Amino acid sequence: MTTETANTIQAMPKGTSLWQDAFHRLRKNRLAMFGLCYLLVLIVICLLTPWIAPYGYEEQNLRLGAVPPNTEHWLGTDTFGRDMLTRILYGGRISLLVGFIATFVALVIGITYGAIAGYAGGRVDSVMMRLVDIFYALPYMIFIILLMVVFGRNLLLLFLAIGAVEWLVMARIVRGQVQSLRQQEYVEAAMSLGLSPFAIIARHLIPNALGPVIVYTTLTIPNVMLLEAFLSFLGLGIQPPQSSWGVLISYGVETMEEYPWLLIFPGLALTITLFALNFFGDGLRDALDPKASRD
């Protein structure tokens, strides 16, 4: 070929993969990028909290009592004289921890369940999905409350209880994806090559189903955090002396008239984080499949 042709070919933009396309679209969505940046900063701060927090977590100063924000306590103190900035940071650790871990539990259960159902098809799939439908119909709030009331409130149970509720939709999504992917030729090829079903699921189906799964995971985390905050508000979630944002908010509500900062700051922290998570999740969804119908 001539040099011009070669140069022209050289100048042509490289072909992009699905992921690179998606990432491009995501970059252009400013709200989503804001969400992502905020989350990354938040996670880093929360991880570093034990080292950067200005005061001890439980350090109380009874004589000081609750004071509004000032130079010594940037976000004020609560009625025990404990620094609010510190408490919100530690609360964030717990809230995020619950959010991520419970979502992870839901993820693992949901993916496994959905992949098996989607791959197996037929009666097995029917029965498994029927079970999902049954659980879906239950008023989960009632059961979670009951679970926490009955078995006491420890962190592990909280993760399990919340995770046990959120896996359902995940299972449905994965199953749907696996079902459609299963028809693809490369799967047939793999099967005729003699690959075990397990290998097929693990190596071909799941990775390709990941798109919607990632999106849904990002959108599950805020739901989980909300659920935990709600339980803590009722007194069933995180127990003192640990605090999550939900717990801080419930304390803030009690004294919101005299000391509104006790409500406003944790409330802001939770709301903004949820915003960020939702914007990012929406952005991901738009980026991965702009034609997908919302909600």
Partner 1 sequence: MTFTQFRLVAICITLFLTACSGGSSESRVEAGNREGVLHFGNGAEPQGLDPHVVTGVPEHHILGALFEGLVTKNPYDLEIEPGVAESWDISEDGLTYTFHLRDNAMWSNGDQVTAEDFHWSWKRGMSPILGSEYSYMYYPIKNAEAYNNGDMADFSQVGVKVIDELTLQVTLESPTPYFLQLLDHYSLFPVHRQTVESFGSMDDRLSQWAREGNIVTNGAFVLTEWQINSHVRVEKSPLYWDADEVDLNAVVFYPTENLVTEERMFRDGQLHRTNEIPLDKIQTYKNEQPEVTHIAPWIGSYFYMINTTREPMTDVRVRKALAMSVDRSLIAETVTQGVYTGSTALVPPGTLGYNPPSVFSYDPEQARQLLAEAGYPNGEGFPAFDLLYNTHEDHRKIAVAIQQMWMQELNIQVNLVNQEWKVYLDSHNNMNYDIARRGWIGDYVDPYTFLNMYITDGGNNKTGFSNARYDEIILKEAPAELDREKRYALYKEAETILLENMPILPIFTYQYKHLIDTSVKGMPDNIMGYHNYKYISLEPDA
Partner 2 sequence: MWRFVGLRILQAVPVILAVITVTFFLVRAAPGGPFDSEKAVSEQVRAALEARYRLDLPMHEQYLSYLGDLLQGDMGPSFYYPGRSVNDLIFQGLPITAELGFYALLIALVIGCGAGVIASLKPNTAQDYVPMSLAMIGICMPSFLLGPLLVLIFGIWLDVMPISGWGSTPGDKILPSITLGAMYAAYIARLSRSGMLEVMNQDYLRTARAKGLPETTVVFRHALRGGLLPVISYLGPAFAALLSGSFVVETVFQIPGLGRFYIQAAFNRDYTMILGTTVFLSTLIVLFNLLSDIVAAWMNPRLRYQFKN
Using CB under 8 A as the binding criterion, the count of chain residues that bind partner 2 stands at 40
Residues 257-286, interacting with partner 2 (CB under 8 A): 257, 260, 263, 267, 270-271, 274-275, 278-279
Closer to partner 2 by CB, 154 or 271: give it.
271
Partner whose binding site includes residue 12, from partner 1, partner 2, none (CB under 5 to 8 Å by kind)? none
The reply on whether position 34 binds partner 2 by CB under 8 A is no
The reply on whether position 151 binds partner 1 by CB under 8 A is no
The reply on whether position 234 binds partner 2 by CB under 8 A is yes
The reply on whether position 233 binds partner 2 by CB under 8 A is yes
Asked if 132 and 192 touch (Cβ cutoff 8 Å), the reply is: no
The reply on whether position 220 binds partner 2 by CB under 8 A is no
Q: Give 54-94 as a 3 state SS string.
A: CCCCCCCCCCCCCCCCCCCCCCCECCCCCEHHHHHHHHHHH
Of the candidates 40, 156, 45, 39, which has an alpha carbon nearest to the alpha carbon of residue 90? Answer: 45
Q: Is the peptide bond before 241 cis (omega within 30 degrees of 0)?
A: yes
Closest distance of CB 1 from partner 2, Å = 43
The reply on whether position 146 binds partner 1 by CB under 8 A is no
Asked if 244 and 98 touch (Cβ cutoff 8 Å), the reply is: yes
Using CB under 8 A as the binding criterion, the count of chain residues that bind partner 1 stands at 18
Closest distance of CB 56 from partner 1, Å = 10
Half-sphere exposure of 48 (CA within 13 A, CB side): 8
Partner whose binding site includes residue 230, from partner 2, partner 1, none (CB under 5 to 8 Å by kind)? partner 2
The reply on whether position 255 binds partner 1 by CB under 8 A is yes
Q: Quote the crossing angle between the two packed helices 155-182 and 140-151, to the nearest 10°.
A: 140
First to last CA, the chain: 52
* Non-local CB neighbours of 100 within 8 Å, separated by 6+ positions: 221
The reply on whether position 129 binds partner 2 by CB under 8 A is no
Q: How wide is the angle at C-alpha 277 spanned by C-alphas 89 and 207, nearest 5°?
A: 120
Closest distance of CB 254 from partner 1, Å = 6
Distance CA 74, CA 185 (A): 61
With H, G, I as helix, E, B as strand and everything else as coil, classify residue 242. coil
> Binding residues for partner 1, per CB under 8 A?
58, 60, 62-63, 65, 79-80, 149, 152, 235, 239-241, 253-255, 258-259
> Binding residues for partner 2, per CB under 8 A?
130, 133-134, 137-143, 145-147, 149-152, 222, 226, 229-230, 233-234, 249-250, 253, 256-257, 260, 263, 267, 270-271, 274-275, 278-279, 293-295
